[in-house]
Amino acid sequence: MSATGRLNKMQRRFIEILMEPADSQPPGEIAQRIGVSVKTFKKYCNDVHLLQLAYQQSTMQSFSRLPRLLLVQTAKAEEGDLNAAKFVLQHAKEMGLATMESDHLTTEDVIRLIKEIVREQQEGEVGGGL
């Protein structure tokens, strides 16, 4: 990363390659694809900041597909599908959007929570992203 905190072209390419489907390539081949030496590639691999950026970008890419899935699962939960409700609530818990302090939630409570979570995610999409 430069002194200004921006990634250079090779660092951006490194992150892109990390996000590709996993296949085992020797470090030399990956370094060549990025356009850096093996030594620089290994330096990138040990750069916690670069790895965190790659993880964040990968996570955001994965979660960008979730709102549609959450809407489908919400509809299923409203129809009484407990597995759909469990999926949505587990996602919400992992994202810190909901906490399950009680095991005594009613069906109405579950549906209300799911709708709130979906609405918050949709508002987050409109409000910005990366």
Report which listed range, 13-17, 40-44, 57-61, is most confident. 40-44
Same domain? 55 vs 88: no
In a domain, 89, yes or no: yes
Same domain? 108 vs 70: yes
In a domain, 81, yes or no: yes
Nearest to 61 by CA among 22, 91, 8, 19: 19
Query: Residues 47-73: what's their mean pLDDT?
Result: 76
Q: Which domain holds residue 57?
A: 9-63
pLDDT at 43: 93
In a domain, 42, yes or no: yes
pLDDT at 38: 93
Same domain? 57 vs 14: yes
Domain count, the chain: 2
In a domain, 53, yes or no: yes
pLDDT at 106: 64
- Confidence check: pLDDT of 52 > 80: yes
pLDDT, mean over the chain:
75
Same domain? 48 vs 30: yes
In a domain, 115, yes or no: yes
Query: Residues 95-108: what's their mean pLDDT?
Result: 58
Same domain? 123 vs 70: yes
Nearest to 74 by CA among 109, 114, 16, 34: 114
Same domain? 78 vs 90: yes
In a domain, 2, yes or no: no
User: What is the pLDDT confidence band of residue 129, given thresholds at 50, 70 and 90?
Assistant: very low
- Confidence check: pLDDT of 40 > 90: yes
28 to each of 35, 41, 44, 51, 92, how far by Cα in Å? 10, 8, 13, 19, 41
pLDDT at 66: 64
Report CA 87 to chain centroid distance, whole Å.
16
Pair 115, 73: CB distance under 8 Å: no
Same domain? 80 vs 106: yes
- Confidence check: pLDDT of 1 > 80: no
